[in-house]
Amino acid sequence: MASNLELKVSINEKHNGANFQNSLLSPQQNICAVSCENVMVFTRVLYRSNSFKQSIPVYTVYAADLNTPFETHIIMESLDQILKIKFNADGHQLLIVTNSKNLHLYLKGSSLHDWTNTHTSNWCEEDILFVDFFHTKNGSFIQINDVKINAPYSEKFQCVNFQPTLRSIGNCSQNGFFAITASGLFLACTVNANGIMGVEERAILGPVRDNFTLASAAFSQSYQAHNVKVTHMQYANSEDPKNLLLFLEFDKDEVLNSQEKVADQQLQAQSNGIKKEDTVNKSQQKFVLQLYQLQDKVRNIFQFFVQSSLEKTNSTTTVKEWVFQAEWATTSSIVAINTTSQNLFASPSVPFLITVASSDDGIYVINKDTMQQISKYSFHSNYPEDHSSSKRNSTDKKIISFTNTWTNLHLIVLDSSGGLHILSLLKQTDMGSSWLVYIMLLLEYTLVSGNDWWDILMAIPPTSSLTLADRLSEIFYTHPAKFVSNLSSKFLVLKNSILRSCSNLHQRSIEARLQAQLSAILKLFHSLRPVTTDVMNVEKNLYSTIQTYIESRNSLEITDIDKSIDNLLFSCNILDCQVDPTLSQELQILLEFSSDLALYLLLLLVQNPKYELAKEPKILQCLREILFISRFWFRYNKLVFPQMIKKTDAVDIWAQLYKLLTRLAQVIPGEPDAGFLVS
């Protein structure tokens, strides 16, 4: 029995009842796509009046973060209908195809509002059937079988090298986009090493040019080709184009002919103990989704003349054929078919899902390996039984577009009233005890890949947040120090996101966020080059020495910050830790944030000596190191100074904060004595 999909988020747009019908959207005018950064791009049709007071449709492309989908940004507006939108593998490039055969390539900046049109192509004489990007990075997959959960990332994640998709004279282009047209042309635009769009290249597809190998396909034995038509066709997995999905629609004559056999089927079914209703439903199935696989077949070569036994020639040849595998049937026509863009888990324990939207406003989830329906969702189920049919027909929501997130955990659905709905495709009950392992591997994959983890957090049970965060920390800090240093800030932000999903983990969430902020400040400080010409390599300057010194017991014995710096300078040059004076002045806001935070934690500690956040060793170490490095800069540039309100100028608050933090680091994990704040 198929289960129901769980509705996680639903955002509806308010409409005026009188103009509701005019504002309904259609599948032909609205499409959507989601990147690996969980940035959603969708199209809407707005109507504006021209100088003659005529209503003109304007097709608009919007961008929104799935974490805050109610905040949108306009990427482009066009008088031509938007036909296709496509993200590249890393989510930084967006391809938009219009009805006038224009292809617009947009580059996403650091924020959701930063989009730049880098290239526009016009193929006005061609009807574009398919468009996609070339490979922009190596493929990868996650090991979920025969791997220990405590293993390093190098054993869990494997990279799959790919061959360059398009070859040109003297180099190989790995960036760009291509399109297939109805006239059989292969059109490509490539990007060179300098990021400049190259010349468009065209090739005629056909066996004469040897640009591709022909592969024939035959319908399964149950159907005849002249009684059905193909309404949808696409690859089941774009990364491995060896599985093809066909959606077949039967002609009306075929349905009528099948109904003549209903009586015979019912008599035979009753003799076999099958219910009459099951036989009737089976006879009314008119729409079928079939799965075909590309295989190599050996065929005999037809010979006109019999050759002598002395002449031995190869009488067979190898051809490619699409072989029928399985099918799934329904009684409604199809609106759209969608699969995940990246199959991360090459394991039978993680099902590869196919989502189908039908004209009866139903969404069906199918397992590709078995072609069996595993779950479904219908917008009609939200209406009460006594809802009048006339009013229901006027307010029904129709599915116009939908797409999967990169994790295949959730489905993003747009309806005809402009509503956005997020449904869960996979749940904990679908995978049982391996669910947390599956979630943990996905979260670790986001650290090394750069993908966004927002939709993964939605799938974490609140009761498992603390266990999951602790296990991730335990595994992360077993890696080499350089690896941990590079990803520490990102990991702490991830940890904060996991912990804040549970209300009773608020203290732990704040701790992780503060560690992430201080770690990012220190990483920025360590990346600055010194002003001395003899130390141009960042690994040779004093920052690594300072970090080691702050962690040592020797620094805890000297509470005076100036004496501690003098102690370190006996064997070092102060200029080896100095940066450009104008640059260090720009870092003033980071120094003031760290100083304010240190003062705030100390004040909380006075009110409550058992306040755990003020006694966290990593936070204390980061604060002491930031104040120590900044004091180094202060000796060379007096403009670097934390601005604080104080009652008298005789008190060096900077030095006093460092002294108190050092004294606190001496006694933790114990509690400070009553004279802790007496200077």
Question: Do 452 and 583 fall within a single domain?
Answer: no
Give whichever of 145-149, 159-163, 259-263, 632-636 has the largest mean pLDDT.
Answer: 632-636
pLDDT reading at 433 higher than 80: no
What is residue 167's predicted lDDT score, i.e. its pLDDT?
A: 44
Q: How many domains does the chain have?
A: 3
Question: Do 435 and 517 fall within a single domain?
Answer: yes
**Type of residue found at 428:** Q
In 162-261, where does DSSP find H-type helix?
Answer: 252-259
Would 382 be classed as within a structural domain?
no
Angle between helix axes 481-499 and 506-527 (nearest 10 degrees) is 150
Question: Do 592 and 460 fall within a single domain?
Answer: no
Contact 340, 352 (CB under 8 A): yes
Between 607 and 447, the more confident residue is 447
Question: Do 535 and 519 fall within a single domain?
Answer: no
Question: Do 538 and 503 fall within a single domain?
Answer: no
- Of 197, 212, 227, the position where a domain reaches its end is 212
User: Per-residue pLDDT averaged across 241-253, rounded?
Assistant: 72
Question: Do 519 and 542 fall within a single domain?
Answer: no
Give dist(CA 511, CA 469) in Å, integer: 13
Q: pTM score, two decimals?
A: 0.78
Question: Do 199 and 66 fall within a single domain?
Answer: yes
User: Per-residue pLDDT averaged across 465-470, rounded?
Assistant: 90
572-606 per-position pLDDT tens digit: 776 677 777 777 777 888 888 888 888 888 888 87
Would 273 be classed as within a structural domain?
no
Radius of gyration of the chain (CA): 32
**HSE value, Cβ hemisphere, 13 Å, CA-based, for 189:** 19
Question: Do 662 and 542 fall within a single domain?
Answer: yes
Would 551 be classed as within a structural domain?
yes
Would 44 be classed as within a structural domain?
yes
Residue 378 structure tokens: 């219908």
Would 623 be classed as within a structural domain?
yes
- Of 170, 192, 212, the position where a domain reaches its end is 212
Give whichever of 25-39, 347-361, 374-388, 461-475 has the largest mean pLDDT.
Answer: 461-475
Q: What range does the domain containing 619 cover?
A: 530-679
- DSSP string covering 638-649: TT-------S-T
Give dist(CA 113, CA 106) in Å, integer: 12
What is residue 311's predicted lDDT score, i.e. its pLDDT?
A: 55
Nearest one of 391, 499, 481, 409 to 445, comparing CA atoms: 409
Residue 72 structure tokens: 């949108």
Instruction: Name the band, by pLDDT with cuts 50, 70 and 90, for residue 121.
Output: confident
267-295 per-position pLDDT tens digit: 555 555 544 444 434 445 578 888 888 88
In 409-480, where does DSSP find H-type helix?
Answer: 428-431, 435-449, 454-457, 465-476
Would 353 be classed as within a structural domain?
no
What residues does 249 pair with on adjacent strands?
229, 287
Give whichever of 360-364, 582-586, 643-647 has the largest mean pLDDT.
Answer: 360-364
Would 315 be classed as within a structural domain?
no
pLDDT reading at 389 higher than 50: no
| H/E segment holding residue 115 | strand 115-122
Helix (H, G, I), strand (E, B) or coil at 298: strand
What is residue 115's predicted lDDT score, i.e. its pLDDT?
A: 92
**Type of residue found at 407:** T
Question: Do 558 and 587 fall within a single domain?
Answer: yes
Give dist(CA 631, CA 283) in Å, integer: 83
Question: Do 562 and 665 fall within a single domain?
Answer: yes
Instruction: Name the band, by pLDDT with cuts 50, 70 and 90, for residue 671.
Output: confident
Question: Do 458 and 564 fall within a single domain?
Answer: no
Between 219 and 43, the more confident residue is 43
- Of 184, 212, 240, the position where a domain reaches its end is 212
Sheet holding 82-87, edge to edge: 82-87, 93-98, 102-108, 115-122
Give dist(CA 374, CA 2) in Å, integer: 5
What is residue 327's predicted lDDT score, i.e. its pLDDT?
A: 87
Question: Do 89 and 173 fall within a single domain?
Answer: yes
pLDDT reading at 396 higher than 80: no
Would 677 be classed as within a structural domain?
yes
